[in-house]
Amino acid sequence: MNTRRTIPDVAIAGGGMIGAACALALARNGFEVALIEAREPQPWRAEDPEDLRVIALAPSSAKLLDELGVWNTVRDARVSPYSRMRVWDAESGAELMFDAVNEGRAELGWIVENKLLLWTLWQALDRAGVRRVCPNEVRDFEVRGDRVSLDMNEDETLPARLLVIADGVKSTLRDKAGIQTRGRDYAQRAVVAHVMTQRSHEATAWQRFVPDGPIALLPLRDGRSSIVWTLPEAEAQRVLAVDDSTFCEAIGVATDFRLGRIMETTPRASFSLRLQLAQAYASERCVLLGDAAHAVHPLAGQGANLGLRDVAELVSVLSDARDANRDFTAMHVLNRYARRRRSADTLDALSFDALARLFALRAPPLVTLRGIGMRVVDALTPLKRRLADHAAGRI
């Protein structure tokens, strides 16, 4: 742990993927940064089994990681690029297909293990000069004049000019900042596992919408696929409890055997789903980042990408203010970040929520209209390209 005792420009509460990326980005832009986290991440080792939690990393996120000097390390360790995406509706039979070739690119994105990305970010912190305050956590904070005073474990305090709250969807610090949230519990769980399929995944991300929720097959580098299967709570618990052969058969049925039979599976895990949006992204000397600001439905695989776009925007806004010799902690500066990201995140979150509701509808006339809509989108190249550009973070 770095033991310097200067007052940091920015203290970041939460050393997960988004908090660590923010710490690294700010430090590389010349800010004095302290990152506070209760525990260091588990080391990533090539000989260990692949992490069950993966993200579909968009080109905008890869660009940010490249600017931070960590993308080559991640890419060379163990990632799986995918060049196509196929999305189809179980009820109407309509299908959408996205191909990187049509976008003039080699890939649409990359499937990356959470554990690998987090560990790589942490390994870069010391080299960038980030003060790692770990193990520790922020229990409370108080704004005092030109700084915010953080109350830590063991009656320790840490002053900073700005507090970035990145302590996750159940953030206690967001509540202490007086920022409320809105949203809803989906009463669903995402069941995750890695499976071996009879046929090749073809470097393609497959997603089928069934009435209970979407199921995705995401390509892994060793030829297997990572599944993310959204199910109602009770059904998820049943699926988690069945034996492997029953589970594999259920996945095959849910994916319409697009990749043939499911041959084998790893142990399963799951996590609960909810829609949650902070009513504000900033208060005096505080800003929200990542899941502390927004939690979205995983059907589009954009949660981590939205968080990394928060990072890019925050670093840009703070750096512009400092470079212009303005107070980067001023409320009008923080509100500039808050307006831009809250608007974008809210639009995306509500769009994902609307899609989840739309594909849950089973009334025949609505299913027919949904199918017509999907076929129209698939046939309209400019519209489809715009959707791909948005997912990639280019618009």
Per-residue confidence band for 350, with pLDDT thresholds at 50, 70 and 90: confident
pLDDT over 70 at 219, yes or no: yes
Q: Which CATH class is domain 81-111+186-273?
A: alpha beta
d(CA 389, CA 377): 14
Mean residue pLDDT across the chain: 92
pLDDT over 80 at 394, yes or no: no
Q: pTM (2 decimals)? A: 0.92
Which pLDDT score is estimated for 393? Answer: 60
Q: Which two tokens stand for residue 41?
A: 């991440």
pLDDT over 70 at 373, yes or no: yes
CA dihedral of 121, 126, 131, 137, whole degrees rounded to 10: 40
d(CA 226, CA 67): 28
Which pLDDT score is estimated for 5? Answer: 59
Per cent of the chain over pLDDT 90 is 78
Residue 282's DSSP bridge partners are 287
Q: Could you tell me if 223 and 204 are in contact, meaning their C-beta atoms sit under 8 angstroms apart?
A: no
- The CATH number corresponding to 10-68+114-182+275-357 among 3.40.50.1000, 3.40.50.800, 3.30.565.10, 3.50.50.60 equals 3.50.50.60
Which pLDDT score is estimated for 208? Answer: 94
Region(s) of the chain under CATH 3.30.9.10: 81-111+186-273
The residue behind tokens 């840490």 is 158
pLDDT over 70 at 389, yes or no: no
pLDDT over 90 at 76, yes or no: yes
pLDDT over 50 at 4, yes or no: no
Q: Could you tell me if 217 and 259 are in contact, meaning their C-beta atoms sit under 8 angstroms apart?
A: yes
pLDDT over 60 at 164, yes or no: yes
Per-residue confidence band for 159, with pLDDT thresholds at 50, 70 and 90: very high
Region(s) of the chain under CATH 3.50.50.60: 10-68+114-182+275-357
d(CA 72, CA 291): 26
pLDDT over 70 at 215, yes or no: yes
Helices and strands: H and E segment counts in the chain: 11, 21
Q: Could you tell me if 218 and 211 are in contact, meaning their C-beta atoms sit under 8 angstroms apart?
A: no
d(CA 86, CA 99): 9
Mean pLDDT of 101-111: 89
Q: Could you tell me if 133 and 158 are in contact, meaning their C-beta atoms sit under 8 angstroms apart?
A: yes
Q: Could you tell me if 171 and 292 are in contact, meaning their C-beta atoms sit under 8 angstroms apart?
A: yes
Mean pLDDT of 74-87: 94
Q: At what angle do helices 114-128 and 17-28 cross, to 10 degrees?
A: 30
Residue-wise pLDDT for 250-296, tens only, equals 999 999 999 999 999 999 999 999 999 999 999 999 999 999 999 99
Residue 143's DSSP bridge partners are 148
d(CA 164, CA 14): 9
Residue-wise pLDDT for 306-342, tens only, equals 999 999 999 999 999 999 999 999 999 999 999 999 9
Q: Which of these ranges, 13-17, 137-141, 202-206, 386-390, has the smallest mean pLDDT?
A: 386-390
Residue 84's DSSP bridge partners are 99, 204
